[in-house]
Structure formats: C-alpha cells, structure tokens
A and B are shown apart, each in its own frame.
Chain A
Amino acid sequence: MDQLLQQLINGLAWGAIYALIALGYTMVYGVLRLINFAHGDVYMVGAMMAYYLAHWLGFAVAPSTIGFVIVLTSSMLICGALGALIELVAYRPLRNRPRMSMLITAIGVSMLLEFGGQRVFGPDPKFFPQLIESRSLFKAGAVVLTNIDLLVICVSLFLMVVLRFIVLRTKIGLAVRAVSFSFETSSLMGINVNTVISVTFVIGSALAAAAGAMVGLRNPKIEPLMGVLPGVKAFVAAVLGGIGNFPGAVVGGLVMGVTETLVAAYFSSTYRDAVAFVILIVVLLVRPAGLFGKVTVEKV
C-alpha cells in the first residue's frame, strides 16, 4: 500500500511533465494538423537553457527559490522564441504543400536540435544544479512527498490554469480556438492566422521548456537526446486524451505518467518505455478519437 502511494506520487509528477509537453503537441496539431516532431527536443533545449542560465546567473552555486523561478521563466521565454523561429523558418513556407512535406521538415528540425545539441552542448550527460534542495515535506510510513514533487505538480497546475485562462478568456485564445476550428474561415473573419500560429508555437514551446527545467530538478542527468522518448510519450498522451483537446492532454499525460511508473514498479522497469507504445496501439484500436476527442470526418 505504501509503495503504491509512493509510486502514485512519482507517477503524478512525471504525468505533470508529460501533460505540459502534451499540451504543446495538442495545440500545434489543433491549428496545423501537424505532429510537431521537434517538440520533444524543445523540451530538451528548455532543460539545457535552464542548466546554462543557472550557471551563468550564479544560482548553481547559491541555490534559491527565486533563482529557480528566474531560471524557469527565462528558459520558457527563450524556448518560446525558439518555437516561433522554428515555425517561421521550417513550417510556414510549407503550409500550402502536402502535409507530408511539413512532417518531413519537422523530423529534420527534430534531428537538427538533437544532433546540433550534441555538438553545441556536448554529447555527454550534464548534471543539473540543485536549484532547490530536495527535502521531504510529508512522511507517512514509507511514503515520502518531497518538495520537488510538490513543486513540479504545483507549477504544472499553475501553468495549466494560466493556459486555460488564455485560451478561454482572452482575444488571442479565442483566435486560437477559431483557427483550430477552421483555418480558412478564420482568415476570412480577419484573424491574422500567422500571428495565431506563432503564438501557439510560443505557448507550446514555453510549456515544454518549463517541463524541461523542472525535470532537471527531479532527474538531474540531462543530455541532448533526452527529449526523444518523453516526446513520443507526450504525443501518445495527447492522442490518449483526444488530440486537439486541452483537458484531454492533461488527463492523458497524468494517466501516462502513472501507468508507466506502476508498470516499472510492479512489472519490469525495462519495459517502462514500452508502455506508451502499448497504450497508443490500444487507443487506436479501441477509441481512436481518444478519451475526450470527437471523431472528425474530412469534408468532401
């Protein structure tokens, strides 16, 4: 029982990370119908930026909560800009071409970030500085809730609430929803589709960066290929929740994190990474529109 609770806590923390990344996939898929392969790598860049910022700004040697907040937000800003840049250079020129072209470019961008990252950051793992000292907040029997776990969950929750506010209560959020609904109609209604798509990439990438920076706190080993598997898993989470659906992405991420942790704990840790794959196959077989998605038919 204790172990189960402990695994649930771990699973939720990982799930929150997946959820943040999954939101970016879902947003971009919503407006462009593109699986943005590079998204998982933006998450990696987020972790790397946080690492370098922490060192440059001196927070690595003098850890503090405020330091963490500064590192986190700066990394989010940098990656937001990176996301917009990727869209501008690699995706925008291909918008009217077959979807396959954009998908191939996305794979190219993903690889460029991964292997460019290996040249720039070095291929060996780096150790993320302890910006916030890990301590247990709560202990009941063998169950430990660390402040890091709580922080990851709370920050994720906070960002999701902010996102929800932006999407539901602001003009740009309305525009994002409109573009997701229909590209052509939105542009006819005077919405600047280019701006909306850029904003989508900025927000999605910033969320991924936040996930990257927080993962550094929990699992300090970071390296240029760290984004590949979480990227795939977060995508599966988005599909599980129903691609294009925001709450779905969050639920999908949490389910993903918890399932994966439980499988690793009770079954075999070697098959931890296989969980996502099995979930994807099952979802596609049983409920291809995902938990909260609607079946869509292409207009003819």
Chain B
Amino acid sequence: MELLKRNAVPLLLVAAQWPVGWLLSQTVNSYYLQIIVYIGINAMLAVSLNLINGITGQFSLGHAGFMAVGAYVSAACSLFLVNGWPAALALPAILLAGGLAAALAGLVVGLPTLRLRGDYLAITTLGFGEIIRVVILNTAAVGGARGLGGMPPLSDFASVYACTIVCVLVIWRLVHSPLGKAFTAVREDEIAAAAMGIDTTRYKITAFVLGAFWAGVAGALFAHFIGYIHTNSFTFLKSVEVVVMVVLGGMGSISGAIIAAAVLTVLTEALRFLADYRMIIYSVLLIVMMLTRPGGLLGRHEITQWRFWSSRTAR
C-alpha cells in the first residue's frame, strides 16, 4: 500500500496513456498520430543513449544497431514464437525479448571495449551497427534484403508512451539515486572515481547495457507499430539522428533529450521537402553546436532544477 502511494504519480501517468490514446485515435488523423508515436519512440532512444553518452560520458554510435536487434528479435518472436497469444501477453513478451537481445548484444560489444579504452567505443559501436546490418541482410529467416513483414500491430500510442514513461522513470531514478551518482562521477573524472572505490568498468557497462536494452525495446515497439521492418530503418544515419538529439538537448540532461527528440521528429516531418539536405543539416548542427554551445540547449540542467530534486531525495 505504502509502495503504491509512493509510486502513485508514475502509475497514474502510465495508466492514463490508454484513455489518452483512445481520445487521440478519435480526434487526430492517423498521420499525426504516427508522428506522435515516433516522438515517443525517439524520446526513448534519446533518453537511453543519453544515459551512455551524456550521463556516463562514454560515446556510443550504435544505437540504431541495438534498435535493429530489438526490432528483428521481437518480430521473429511474434511471428514464430508467441503467435496467437493474446496481445496483453504477447506484447510484454516481445518487448522483453527485443530488449534482452539488444542488452546481450550490448554486453558483447561493451565488455571488451569499455574494459580498457572507452574512446574506442565510438568506432566499435559504429562497426557493430554496420555488421548487424550485414548479418540481417544475409539471414533469409528474417527476410534478408526483402525486409520482414506481417507482424501483428501489437504496439500503439498507449503502449509506446507507457514504455517511454517507464524508461524515463527508470533512468531518472537510477541516475538520481545515491548509488547512481557514480555514473556521473565516471563522466566527470574516471581516475578519481576509481580512487573512491568505484568499479568504473562496471558502471560503464551497466550504462551501456541498460541503454542498449531500451534501444531494443524501442526497436520492438517500432517493428510492431508499422508492421514491416527493413535494415534501411536502422542505418548509421539513425544512430547519428539519436546522437544529434542528445547533443541538442544537452549532454546529460534527460528532459533536454526528450524535448530535442520531439523537436527533431517534428522538424524532420515538417521539413520533408528538405529531405536531401537533412543529413547535411544534422552534421552542420553537430559542428556548430559543439563550437558555440557545447552544453546543448539545456546544458546539463533538467527542467526541474537539479538542486531541488537532490535535496528532496536526500531527505
């Protein structure tokens, strides 16, 4: 009971997504609804990458790769394994399958890389993203170059946003807990953190694997929202898009990442006529941001002031 009371707000927030989703489906046309769902998925990607890149100070460039793993594993799962299950059971099953598969991939990539040279992570994850695409393209069982379709539409606005809220909540509570402050400490000064008894490798890997998990969940939601997936949705460009969201929102700011995800998703749709220039705009944005506002738009701050929060949790 006590537990329920302490978590009433997030629980209500999650539960509210179903009526809100129903309301939206009655009032908003399907194109806009799709964009709204993409905002949720991208927010989940941005917040989970922010845990790795912004808060822990490592640099992953492979978020799309983990998303792909989640999408394909969950799709295979719903097509071959939980086919015919009721949606209320099948959905958690495929989300978990996608997330865990991506987390496992994250562990395989992160363990050797993060153990020693954090600065190699960028190139390892870049390589991983490309390799995973090659593997999928050459695996006939999941459609290869034809792509994979026929997944039941298990995810919708409500499930996407419920998951996004849970994702944000988990990461927020983690990094703002006394134990989780070590993530930020690793970013600030790895040597000092280790001298304070912190197993820095473990924290880096935890951040990386947890980030990969949520990217996998996002991939699973994506796959079961549009019902057809192809490796073209998970290229290096998608990874860069998520990086741009994190940088724009301010490395380390969770609320910043969410806002940036929403803004960029809408802009991408609104500026469709500029599609050919999109990646050029992104790249210039990255360079200019780093040269002029390296802290991102929000810096390291959250919308809710950090000081207010830390004094409240400490009490």
Do A and B contact each other directly (Cβ–Cβ < 8 Å)? yes
CA distance A232 to B236 in the complex (A): 13
Report yes or no: B290 in contact with A300, Cβ–Cβ below 8 A: no
Is the beta-carbon distance between A280 and B127 smaller than 8 angstroms? yes
Q: How large is the interface on A (under 10, 10 to 19, 20 to 34, 35 or more residues)?
A: 35 or more
Offer 16 A-B interface pairs, CB within 8 angstroms, sorted by A: A35-B123, A37-B122, A90-B291, A93-B291, A94-B290, A104-B286, A105-B290, A108-B287, A111-B240, A112-B280, A112-B287, A115-B283, A228-B236, A280-B124, A281-B124, A285-B112
Main secondary structure of the interface of A (DSSP, over half): helix
Q: Specify which of B191, B280, B290 lies most central, judged by the most chain A CB atoms within 10 Å of its CB.
A: B290
Number of B residues, CB within 8 Å of A? 42
A108 touches B280 (CB 8 A): no
Return the contact of A104 from the options B57, B126, B247 (Cβ within 8 A).
Answer: B247
Contact status A105-B291, CB under 8 Å: yes
B286 touching A232 by the CB < 8 A rule? Answer: no
B284 at the interface (CB under 8 A from A): yes
Given A104-B247, A239-B120, A288-B117, the answer on whether A119 and B134 have CB atoms closer than 8 Å is no
* B57 A94 Cβ-Cβ under 8 A: no
Q: Which residues of A come within 8 Å of B, CB atoms?
A: 33, 35, 37, 90, 93-94, 97, 99-105, 107-112, 114-116, 119, 228-229, 232, 235-236, 239, 270-271, 273-274, 276-277, 280-281, 284-285, 288, 298, 300
A285 partner residues in chain B, CB cutoff 8 A: 112
Report B166 CB to chain A, min CB distance, Å: 28
Q: Is the CB of B112 within 8 A of A284?
A: yes
Whether B120 contacts A284 by the Cβ 8 Å rule is yes
**Please, how many angstroms separate the alpha-carbon atoms of A280 and B109 in the complex?**
10
Complex CA distance for A285 and B120, rounded to whole angstroms = 13
What is the bound-complex CA distance between A109 and B247, given in angstroms? 15
Contact B138 A270 (CB under 8 A): yes
Cross-interface CB contact of B116 among A33, A93, A288, cutoff 8 Å: A288
Decide: A101 and B290 in contact? CB cutoff 8 A: yes
CA distance A43 to B134 in the complex (A): 23
Q: Once the chains bind, are B122 and A103 in contact (CB under 8 Å)? A: yes
A107–B119 alpha-carbon span in the complex (Å):
13
Q: How far, in whole Å, are A103 and B123 apart by their CA atoms in the complex?
A: 11
B294 contacts A by Cβ under 8 Å: yes
Contact (A284, B116) CB under 8 Å given A105-B287, A270-B138, A276-B127: yes
